[in-house]
């Protein structure tokens, strides 16, 4: 049965009112799932959910999606591959402003504009984005469970490190441990040895582990729909005095930032707190990225946890705190947790240890 999540739809409509939008089209897979519980990756086909302030909710999709048995107030309009995929939408929307989410392919938007010149497309992602940014009880439970899985996988990954292994071998092993726990297949997890750790987004290759390497493991996967994301850095056989100094600075930045998180503060204040610790240690220019990102049905979603983010923290927000220091040609260190903003502070969702580990001895 396809239905509409009443509480979430009501919150979206409240945001629509605030933004002067009487109707919107939601087309992004994870946002449609958020509101309907239906997960569809449409590829080139048409998927859209129409909401208006009069209570109408219509889900448009291809018959290949297998959508059946809509429950009131949600209606279905189904087309097939030889139909015009935008025709039903054009007959449904009203004249005037129509909020369009940022993911709708231009070929569909342009077709709608041609059919309905009386409709004015305007940016319309934020009503859903703002609601998704504040997780409800069901979502928080899912994110806690995903992080519990991530803690277990990280423990197994560190224990698996062995002589002669490659970054690719590490990544494949981590992937297998996720699958063993029923998680969905992830994309692009990071396993970086030695100098490769100085690239924050290094893709695992055939680099072989060697004594003195820092090992950056940034592991993330949807488990099964809500993401986990955590980074730990360990050292193989030894850690130089500078490696230890860098590690201590990154850990201090991570923990200091987490200690100040509470409702009602601008996200940029959290970034500033972590960045100041790293600057005081003498590595300010080597912290080259924002402090973190929101996470939920997408691995990266609002809020932006950066030095320019004016977003004010609210209970229910979940985002990463992941300071790092990167010394090109030498090594890198990053430590990342997910945090949940609570009524009085924050809850760190990851429990895996953060003390400096030298493994393989």
| pLDDT tens track, the chain, 361 positions | 789 999 999 999 999 999 999 999 999 999 999 999 999 999 999 999 999 999 999 999 999 999 988 888 999 999 999 999 999 999 999 999 999 999 999 999 999 999 999 999 999 999 999 999 999 999 999 999 999 999 999 999 999 999 999 999 999 999 999 999 988 766 679 999 999 999 999 999 999 999 999 999 999 999 989 999 999 999 999 999 999 999 999 999 999 999 999 999 999 999 999 999 999 999 999 999 999 999 999 999 999 999 999 999 999 999 999 999 999 999 999 999 999 999 999 999 999 999 999 999 7
Q: Tell me what pLDDT residue 279 has.
A: 98
Burial category of 357 from C-beta neighbours within 10 Å (exposed 0-12, middle 13-18, buried 19 and up): middle
SS3 call for 75: strand
Output b/e per residue, 16-39; b: 16+ Cβ within 10 A.
Answer: beebebbbbbbbbbbbbebbbebe
- List, as own/partner pairs, every contact residues 255-262 make where C-beta atoms lie below 8 angstroms and the sequence separation is at least 24, other chains included: 255/354, 257/291, 257/321, 257/323, 258/321, 258/337, 258/339, 258/346, 258/348, 261/313, 261/321, 261/339, 261/341, 261/345, 261/346, 262/313, 262/341, 262/344, 262/345, 262/346
Residues 6, 12, 13, 19, Cα dihedral to 10°: 180
Tell me, what's the pLDDT at 187? 66
Q: How far is CA 2 from each of CA 51, 69, 307, 351, rounded to the nearest angstrom?
A: 15, 6, 41, 37
For residue 272, the SS3 value is: helix
Burial 83-117 (b: 16+ CB within 10 A, else e): eebbbbbeebbeeebbbbbeebeeebbebbbebbe
Question: What confidence score (pLDDT) does residue 354 get?
Answer: 98
| Whole-number pLDDT of residue 188 | 73
At 265 the pLDDT is: 98
Taking the model in full, what pTM does it have? 0.95
Q: How far apart are CA 295 and CA 109, in angstroms?
A: 28
The C-alpha atoms of residue 122 and residue 124 are separated, in whole angstroms, by 6
- Contact 12/128 with Cβ under 8 angstroms? yes
The reported pLDDT for the residue numbered 345 is: 97
């Amino acid at each position: 049965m396809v239905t509409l999540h009443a509480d979430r739809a009501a919150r979206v409509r409240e945001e629509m009112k605030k933004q002067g939008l009487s109707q919107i089209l939601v087309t992004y897979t994870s946002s449609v799932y958020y509101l309907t519980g239906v997960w569809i990756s449409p590829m080139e086909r048409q998927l859209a959910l129409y909401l208006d302030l009069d209570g109408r909710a219509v889900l448009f999709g291809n018959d290949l999606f297998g959508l059946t048995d809509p429950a009131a107030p949600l209606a279905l309009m189904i087309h097939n591959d030889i139909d015009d995929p935008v025709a039903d939408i054009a007959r449904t929307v009203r004249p005037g402003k129509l909020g369009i989410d940022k993911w709708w392919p231009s070929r569909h938007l342009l077709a709608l504009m041609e059919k309905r010149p009386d409709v004015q497309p305007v940016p319309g992602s934020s009503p859903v984005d703002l609601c998704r940014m504040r997780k409800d009880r069901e979502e928080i439970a899912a994110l806690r469970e995903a992080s519990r899985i991530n803690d277990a996988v990280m423990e197994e990954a560190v224990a698996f490190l062995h002589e002669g292994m490659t970054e690719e071998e590490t990544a494949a092993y981590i992937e297998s441990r996720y699958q063993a726990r029923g998680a969905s297949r992830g994309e692009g997890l990071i396993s970086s040895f030695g100098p490769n750790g100085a690239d924050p987004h290094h893709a695992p290759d055939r680099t072989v582990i060697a004594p003195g390497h820092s090992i950056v493991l940034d592991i993330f996967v949807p488990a099964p729909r809500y993401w986990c994301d955590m980074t730990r850095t360990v050292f193989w056989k030894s850690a130089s005095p500078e490696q230890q100094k860098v590690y201590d600075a990154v850990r201090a930045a991570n923990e200091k930032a987490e200690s100040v998180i509470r409702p009602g503060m601008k996200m940029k204040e959290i970034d500033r707190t972590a960045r100041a610790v790293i600057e005081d240690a003498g590595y300010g220019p080597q912290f080259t990225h924002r402090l973190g990102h929101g996470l939920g049905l997408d691995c990266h979603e609002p809020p932006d946890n950066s030095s320019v983010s004016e977003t004010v923290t609210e209970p229910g927000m979940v985002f990463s705190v992941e300071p790092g220091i990167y010394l090109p040609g030498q090594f890198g260190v990053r430590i990342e947790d997910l945090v949940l903003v609570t009524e009085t502070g924050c809850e760190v969702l990851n429990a895996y240890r953060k003390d400096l580990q030298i493994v393989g001895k």
